[in-house]
Structure 1
Amino acid sequence: MTSRDATTRWSGDLKTGSGQTSLDSSNLGPFTVSWPARAEEPDGLTSPEELIAAAHSACLAMNLTGVLTKEGLTAEHVEVSAEVTLEQDPEGGFRISRSAVTLRAKVPDVDADRFAELARTAERTCPVSKALAGTTITLDAALED
Protein backbone atom coordinates (compact mmCIF):
# COMPACT_ATOMS: atom_id res chain seq x y z
CA MET A 1 0.00 0.00 0.00
CA THR A 2 1.09 3.63 0.20
CA SER A 3 3.00 5.49 2.85
CA ARG A 4 3.48 9.20 3.42
CA ASP A 5 6.15 11.08 5.29
CA ALA A 6 6.75 14.34 7.08
CA THR A 7 9.75 15.80 8.88
CA THR A 8 10.07 18.21 11.79
CA ARG A 9 13.28 19.94 12.79
CA TRP A 10 13.13 21.50 16.27
CA SER A 11 15.50 24.06 17.84
CA GLY A 12 15.58 25.12 21.47
CA ASP A 13 13.67 23.94 24.49
CA LEU A 14 9.99 23.06 24.61
CA LYS A 15 8.55 26.34 25.84
CA THR A 16 10.67 28.87 23.92
CA GLY A 17 11.87 26.81 20.97
CA SER A 18 10.12 26.13 17.70
CA GLY A 19 10.19 23.76 14.80
CA GLN A 20 9.58 23.54 11.10
CA THR A 21 7.36 20.74 9.85
CA SER A 22 7.40 19.80 6.18
CA LEU A 23 4.97 17.45 4.49
CA ASP A 24 7.60 15.63 2.48
CA SER A 25 5.37 13.44 0.32
CA SER A 26 3.41 16.39 -1.06
CA ASN A 27 6.30 18.85 -0.82
CA LEU A 28 4.23 21.29 1.28
CA GLY A 29 5.56 23.49 4.01
CA PRO A 30 7.49 24.22 5.97
CA PHE A 31 4.95 25.01 8.69
CA THR A 32 6.19 26.53 11.94
CA VAL A 33 5.19 24.69 15.14
CA SER A 34 5.74 25.80 18.72
CA TRP A 35 4.56 24.97 22.21
CA PRO A 36 2.61 28.23 22.64
CA ALA A 37 0.80 27.57 19.33
CA ARG A 38 -0.03 24.10 20.60
CA ALA A 39 -1.05 24.84 24.18
CA GLU A 40 -2.33 28.41 23.95
CA GLU A 41 -3.35 30.45 20.89
CA PRO A 42 -2.19 29.37 17.42
CA ASP A 43 -1.28 32.92 16.31
CA GLY A 44 -0.96 31.80 12.68
CA LEU A 45 1.03 28.64 13.48
CA THR A 46 -0.08 25.03 13.34
CA SER A 47 0.19 22.11 15.76
CA PRO A 48 0.21 18.32 15.66
CA GLU A 49 -3.42 18.39 16.83
CA GLU A 50 -4.48 20.67 13.98
CA LEU A 51 -2.71 18.38 11.52
CA ILE A 52 -4.53 15.38 13.04
CA ALA A 53 -7.84 17.27 12.78
CA ALA A 54 -7.10 17.94 9.10
CA ALA A 55 -6.25 14.28 8.54
CA HIS A 56 -9.40 13.11 10.34
CA SER A 57 -11.73 15.45 8.44
CA ALA A 58 -10.20 14.67 5.03
CA CYS A 59 -10.15 10.93 5.67
CA LEU A 60 -13.76 10.81 6.84
CA ALA A 61 -14.98 12.92 3.91
CA MET A 62 -13.32 10.52 1.48
CA ASN A 63 -14.41 7.44 3.39
CA LEU A 64 -18.05 8.57 3.51
CA THR A 65 -18.10 9.02 -0.26
CA GLY A 66 -16.76 5.48 -0.62
CA VAL A 67 -19.43 4.09 1.72
CA LEU A 68 -22.12 5.97 -0.21
CA THR A 69 -20.78 4.70 -3.54
CA LYS A 70 -21.06 1.09 -2.32
CA GLU A 71 -24.73 1.82 -1.62
CA GLY A 72 -25.27 3.31 -5.09
CA LEU A 73 -25.47 6.84 -3.67
CA THR A 74 -23.58 9.99 -4.60
CA ALA A 75 -23.33 13.06 -2.39
CA GLU A 76 -23.78 16.46 -3.96
CA HIS A 77 -21.30 17.63 -1.33
CA VAL A 78 -19.79 16.54 1.97
CA GLU A 79 -18.31 18.85 4.60
CA VAL A 80 -16.46 17.44 7.60
CA SER A 81 -14.79 19.33 10.42
CA ALA A 82 -12.87 17.83 13.30
CA GLU A 83 -11.87 19.49 16.56
CA VAL A 84 -9.02 17.66 18.28
CA THR A 85 -8.44 18.28 21.99
CA LEU A 86 -5.06 18.14 23.75
CA GLU A 87 -5.18 17.78 27.52
CA GLN A 88 -3.05 16.75 30.46
CA ASP A 89 -2.79 12.99 30.86
CA PRO A 90 -3.30 11.79 34.44
CA GLU A 91 -0.51 9.26 33.80
CA GLY A 92 1.90 12.05 32.83
CA GLY A 93 2.46 14.40 29.95
CA PHE A 94 -0.35 15.19 27.55
CA ARG A 95 -2.73 13.18 25.38
CA ILE A 96 -5.13 13.70 22.55
CA SER A 97 -8.36 13.00 24.37
CA ARG A 98 -11.01 13.70 21.78
CA SER A 99 -11.85 14.31 18.16
CA ALA A 100 -15.27 15.93 17.81
CA VAL A 101 -16.41 15.44 14.23
CA THR A 102 -19.19 17.38 12.53
CA LEU A 103 -20.31 15.99 9.20
CA ARG A 104 -22.84 17.60 6.89
CA ALA A 105 -23.77 16.28 3.49
CA LYS A 106 -26.34 16.68 0.79
CA VAL A 107 -27.21 13.22 -0.48
CA PRO A 108 -30.23 12.70 -2.72
CA ASP A 109 -32.38 9.59 -2.31
CA VAL A 110 -31.48 8.76 1.31
CA ASP A 111 -33.42 9.41 4.51
CA ALA A 112 -31.90 10.75 7.73
CA ASP A 113 -31.87 7.40 9.55
CA ARG A 114 -30.12 5.57 6.70
CA PHE A 115 -27.67 8.44 6.31
CA ALA A 116 -26.83 8.35 10.03
CA GLU A 117 -26.12 4.61 9.74
CA LEU A 118 -23.89 5.13 6.70
CA ALA A 119 -22.05 8.00 8.44
CA ARG A 120 -21.39 5.79 11.49
CA THR A 121 -20.03 3.08 9.17
CA ALA A 122 -17.78 5.63 7.48
CA GLU A 123 -16.48 6.89 10.83
CA ARG A 124 -15.90 3.37 12.18
CA THR A 125 -14.00 2.27 9.04
CA CYS A 126 -12.03 5.50 8.48
CA PRO A 127 -8.29 4.72 8.75
CA VAL A 128 -7.62 7.86 10.78
CA SER A 129 -10.47 7.01 13.19
CA LYS A 130 -8.85 3.60 13.60
CA ALA A 131 -5.49 5.26 14.30
CA LEU A 132 -7.20 7.35 16.99
CA ALA A 133 -8.64 4.25 18.67
CA GLY A 134 -7.50 5.37 22.14
CA THR A 135 -9.32 8.68 21.70
CA THR A 136 -12.99 9.50 22.23
CA ILE A 137 -14.50 10.25 18.84
CA THR A 138 -17.91 11.90 18.67
CA LEU A 139 -19.85 12.16 15.43
CA ASP A 140 -22.58 14.69 14.70
CA ALA A 141 -23.81 13.73 11.23
CA ALA A 142 -26.78 15.25 9.45
CA LEU A 143 -28.18 15.67 5.99
CA GLU A 144 -28.58 19.16 4.58
CA ASP A 145 -31.71 20.24 2.75
Structure 2
Amino acid sequence: MAALRRTASVTWSGSARQGQGTFQVGSGALVAPFTYNSRFKGDTETNPEELLLAAQAGCLTMALAAALQEKQIDPGTIETSAELDLVSHDSGGYRIPSVRVEIALSKRDWPQEKLDEALERAMDMCPICNALGGTDIQVKFSDG
Protein backbone atom coordinates (compact mmCIF):
# COMPACT_ATOMS: atom_id res chain seq x y z
CA MET A 1 0.00 0.00 0.00
CA ALA A 2 1.31 3.45 -0.88
CA ALA A 3 1.98 5.87 1.92
CA LEU A 4 -0.83 8.29 2.75
CA ARG A 5 0.49 11.83 2.97
CA ARG A 6 -1.22 14.37 5.21
CA THR A 7 -0.28 18.01 5.48
CA ALA A 8 -0.78 20.95 7.78
CA SER A 9 0.61 24.45 7.90
CA VAL A 10 0.97 27.27 10.38
CA THR A 11 1.30 30.99 9.80
CA TRP A 12 2.64 33.04 12.71
CA SER A 13 3.04 36.82 12.88
CA GLY A 14 4.84 38.66 15.64
CA SER A 15 6.80 37.67 18.71
CA ALA A 16 6.18 34.44 20.61
CA ARG A 17 4.24 36.19 23.40
CA GLN A 18 2.52 38.98 21.49
CA GLY A 19 2.01 37.38 18.09
CA GLN A 20 -0.77 35.26 16.70
CA GLY A 21 -0.97 32.29 14.43
CA THR A 22 -3.31 30.15 12.40
CA PHE A 23 -3.31 26.37 12.01
CA GLN A 24 -4.61 24.99 8.72
CA VAL A 25 -4.93 21.34 7.80
CA GLY A 26 -4.31 20.22 4.24
CA SER A 27 -7.90 19.14 3.63
CA GLY A 28 -9.14 22.62 4.53
CA ALA A 29 -11.49 21.12 7.14
CA LEU A 30 -9.83 23.06 9.98
CA VAL A 31 -8.51 26.58 10.15
CA ALA A 32 -7.95 27.67 13.74
CA PRO A 33 -6.30 30.66 15.42
CA PHE A 34 -3.86 30.37 18.32
CA THR A 35 -1.77 32.66 20.49
CA TYR A 36 0.65 32.46 23.39
CA ASN A 37 -2.27 33.10 25.73
CA SER A 38 -4.35 30.29 24.23
CA ARG A 39 -1.45 27.95 24.78
CA PHE A 40 -0.28 29.00 28.23
CA LYS A 41 -2.96 31.23 29.77
CA GLY A 42 -6.23 29.45 28.93
CA ASP A 43 -7.63 31.83 26.30
CA THR A 44 -10.33 30.39 24.06
CA GLU A 45 -8.40 29.78 20.83
CA THR A 46 -6.96 26.31 20.32
CA ASN A 47 -3.33 25.29 20.81
CA PRO A 48 -0.94 22.62 19.51
CA GLU A 49 -1.55 20.37 22.51
CA GLU A 50 -5.33 20.29 21.97
CA LEU A 51 -4.79 19.38 18.33
CA LEU A 52 -2.41 16.60 19.38
CA LEU A 53 -5.01 15.28 21.84
CA ALA A 54 -7.77 15.43 19.23
CA ALA A 55 -5.59 13.54 16.76
CA GLN A 56 -4.63 10.92 19.34
CA ALA A 57 -8.20 10.41 20.60
CA GLY A 58 -9.61 10.23 17.07
CA CYS A 59 -6.97 7.82 15.84
CA LEU A 60 -7.19 5.54 18.88
CA THR A 61 -11.00 5.48 18.72
CA MET A 62 -11.01 4.42 15.07
CA ALA A 63 -8.30 1.82 15.73
CA LEU A 64 -10.26 0.42 18.70
CA ALA A 65 -13.40 0.16 16.56
CA ALA A 66 -11.37 -1.79 13.98
CA ALA A 67 -9.76 -4.04 16.62
CA LEU A 68 -13.16 -4.83 18.14
CA GLN A 69 -14.56 -5.54 14.67
CA GLU A 70 -11.72 -8.03 14.12
CA LYS A 71 -13.05 -9.87 17.19
CA GLN A 72 -16.64 -9.57 15.90
CA ILE A 73 -17.57 -7.30 18.79
CA ASP A 74 -19.97 -4.41 18.25
CA PRO A 75 -18.86 -1.59 20.58
CA GLY A 76 -21.92 0.53 19.90
CA THR A 77 -20.88 4.14 20.40
CA ILE A 78 -17.33 4.93 21.50
CA GLU A 79 -16.65 8.27 23.18
CA THR A 80 -13.02 9.13 23.87
CA SER A 81 -11.57 12.02 25.85
CA ALA A 82 -7.90 12.76 26.42
CA GLU A 83 -5.85 15.10 28.57
CA LEU A 84 -2.21 15.91 29.11
CA ASP A 85 -0.04 18.14 31.25
CA LEU A 86 2.77 20.30 29.90
CA VAL A 87 5.73 20.00 32.25
CA SER A 88 8.61 22.47 32.09
CA HIS A 89 12.13 21.11 31.95
CA ASP A 90 15.57 22.52 32.65
CA SER A 91 16.21 23.70 29.08
CA GLY A 92 13.34 26.17 29.40
CA GLY A 93 11.02 24.18 27.17
CA TYR A 94 8.19 21.80 27.93
CA ARG A 95 7.53 18.10 27.59
CA ILE A 96 4.49 15.85 27.71
CA PRO A 97 5.28 12.94 30.04
CA SER A 98 1.90 11.25 29.70
CA VAL A 99 -1.46 11.33 27.99
CA ARG A 100 -4.52 10.17 29.92
CA VAL A 101 -7.34 8.71 27.85
CA GLU A 102 -10.84 7.73 28.93
CA ILE A 103 -12.92 5.60 26.58
CA ALA A 104 -16.64 5.19 27.19
CA LEU A 105 -18.39 2.34 25.40
CA SER A 106 -22.17 2.20 25.07
CA LYS A 107 -21.97 -1.61 25.01
CA ARG A 108 -19.86 -3.58 27.51
CA ASP A 109 -21.28 -7.09 27.28
CA TRP A 110 -18.04 -8.98 26.67
CA PRO A 111 -15.17 -10.07 28.94
CA GLN A 112 -12.62 -7.46 30.05
CA GLU A 113 -9.91 -9.70 28.62
CA LYS A 114 -11.33 -9.23 25.09
CA LEU A 115 -11.43 -5.48 25.60
CA ASP A 116 -7.82 -5.44 26.84
CA GLU A 117 -6.72 -7.46 23.80
CA ALA A 118 -8.56 -5.10 21.47
CA LEU A 119 -6.98 -2.08 23.17
CA GLU A 120 -3.50 -3.55 22.81
CA ARG A 121 -4.16 -4.14 19.10
CA ALA A 122 -5.60 -0.63 18.71
CA MET A 123 -2.56 0.97 20.36
CA ASP A 124 -0.36 -0.93 17.92
CA MET A 125 -2.51 0.07 14.91
CA CYS A 126 -2.79 3.78 15.82
CA PRO A 127 -0.05 5.81 14.07
CA ILE A 128 -0.54 8.75 16.43
CA CYS A 129 0.05 6.50 19.47
CA ASN A 130 3.14 5.17 17.70
CA ALA A 131 4.35 8.71 16.97
CA LEU A 132 4.06 9.47 20.70
CA GLY A 133 6.64 6.78 21.51
CA GLY A 134 8.26 7.55 24.85
CA THR A 135 5.08 9.18 26.15
CA ASP A 136 3.14 7.13 28.68
CA ILE A 137 -0.39 6.64 27.31
CA GLN A 138 -2.75 5.64 30.11
CA VAL A 139 -6.18 4.34 29.07
CA LYS A 140 -9.18 3.61 31.25
CA PHE A 141 -12.61 2.40 30.21
CA SER A 142 -15.96 3.57 31.49
CA ASP A 143 -19.56 2.79 30.64
CA GLY A 144 -21.02 5.07 28.00
Q: Does the alignment reach a TM-score above 0.5? A: yes
Which runs of 5 or more residues in structure 1 are unaligned? none
After TM superposition, the structure 1 = structure 2 runs for residues 4-23 of structure 1, keeping only pairs within 5 Å, are 4-23=6-25
Give the number of aligned pairs.
142
Q: Give the Cα–Cα distance (whole angstroms) in 1 for the partners of residues 5 and 85 of structure 2.
A: 26
% identical aligned pairs: 30
In structure 1, the partner of 2:58 is 58
Q: Give the Cα–Cα distance (whole angstroms) in 1 for the partners of residues 100 and 70 of structure 2.
A: 26
Q: 1:128 to 1:2 in 2, by over 3 A?
A: same
| Root mean square deviation of aligned Cα | 1.8
How far did residue 91 of structure 1 move? 4.0
Q: 1:39 to 1:108 in 2, by over 3 A?
A: closer
Q: Counterpart of 2:140 in 1: which secondary structure?
A: strand
After TM superposition, the structure 1 = structure 2 runs for residues 88-127 of structure 1, keeping only pairs within 5 Å, are 88-107=88-107, 109-127=109-127
- The answer on whether the counterparts of 1:59 and 1:128 sit within 8 Å (CA) in structure 2 is yes
After TM superposition, the structure 1 = structure 2 runs for residues 78-97 of structure 1, keeping only pairs within 5 Å, are 78-97=78-97
Taking structure 1 as the reference length, what is the TM-score of the superposition?
0.87
Q: Counterpart of 2:74 in 1: which secondary structure?
A: coil
Q: Counterpart of 2:86 in 1: which secondary structure?
A: strand
How far did residue 108 of structure 1 move? 5.7
Taking structure 2 as the reference length, what is the TM-score of the superposition?
0.88
Q: Give the Cα–Cα distance (whole angstroms) in 1 for the partners of residues 90 and 106 of structure 2.
A: 41
Q: Counterpart of 1:137 in 2: which secondary structure?
A: strand
